[in-house]
Amino acid sequence: MFTKKFRKSFTGLTPEAIHALQNYNWTGNVREMRNLIERAVLLGNGTQMNVDQLGLDTLQTGSKAEPASEAHMGLPPLTAEGIDLPAILRSIENKYFEEAIALASGNATKASKLLNLSRDKFRYRMTKSTPSISK
Domain regions of the chain by residue span: 2-73, 85-134
Write a three-state SS string for the chain: CHHHHCCCCCCEECHHHHHHHHHECCCCCHHHHHHHHHHHHHHCCCCEECHHHHCEEECCCCCCEEECCHHHHCCCCCCCCCCCHHHHHHHHHHHHHHHHHHHCCCCHHHHHHHCCCCHHHHHHHHHHHCHHHHC
CB 20, CB 58: distance < 8 Å: yes
CB count within 10 Å of CB 130 equals 18
Check residues 85 and 25 and name the one with the higher pLDDT: 85
Q: Which of 17-21, 73-77, 78-82, 99-103 has the lowest mean pLDDT?
A: 73-77
pTM of the model: 0.45
CB burial class (10 A; 0-12, 13-18, 19+) of residue 56?
buried
CATH fit for domain 2-73, picks 1.10.3720.10, 1.10.8.60, 3.20.20.70, 3.40.50.970: 1.10.8.60
Please tell me the predicted confidence (pLDDT) of residue 20: 85
**pLDDT of 78 above 80:** no
The mean predicted confidence, pLDDT, of the chain is 77
Read off the pLDDT of each residue in 53-82 and give the average, rounded to a whole number: 58
pLDDT of 69 over the 80 cut: no
Q: What is the pLDDT of residue 28?
A: 65
Pick 44 or 56 by higher pLDDT.
Answer: 44
